[in-house]
Amino acid sequence: MNVLFEKLSDSARVWIYPSNRKLSDQEVEEILILFENFLGQWTAHNKKLLASVKIPYNRFIVIGLDEDFQSPSGCSIDSSVHFIQDIEKTYNIVLLDKMNVTFKQGEYLTYKSLIEFKKMIKNGSINKNTIVFNNLVNNIKEYKTQWETPIIDSWHSRFFK
């Protein structure tokens, strides 16, 4: 069951899938329509799930799910991952590779492998105040407060040690 993302409670669970490239406005529109259909029929044990999606910066797919309404099952989570895989194929993008980091360089977003990211830290191209996207946040509250954060305040800070 679809709901506006802004209507989800702070405790709603989130999954964030960073794209390896910026999506066009047309692609975003198409993906949102695909999600509207998917979320409209997304269930756990034949019970509707209350969920939403947003695509900030035309770069991240963020799924929010109100677990207080209905908890997801292993099968429902699997179906969402399969849906993400279908989007990857359809739009020729990478969403499931967790060995990459997206961060801000001025007003631009940069997507690099962890290896390249670590090299940029070593050569001083990135510092502790660089804004990174912490895609490991668990819920809407963390998404609002810890998703876009200086490296020093995220799990990425370990690369400075």
Domain boundaries along the sequence of the chain: 5-91, 100-160
pTM: 0.94
In the structure encoding, which two tokens stand for residue 55, read together? 């695509």
Per the CB < 8 A criterion, the answer to whether 153 and 137 are in contact is: no
What is the tens place of the pLDDT at every residue in 64-97?
A: 999 888 888 888 889 999 999 999 999 999 999 9
pLDDT number for residue 3:
85
Give the separation between CA 95 and CA 60, rounded to whole angstroms: 8
DSSP-derived secondary structure letter, 128: T
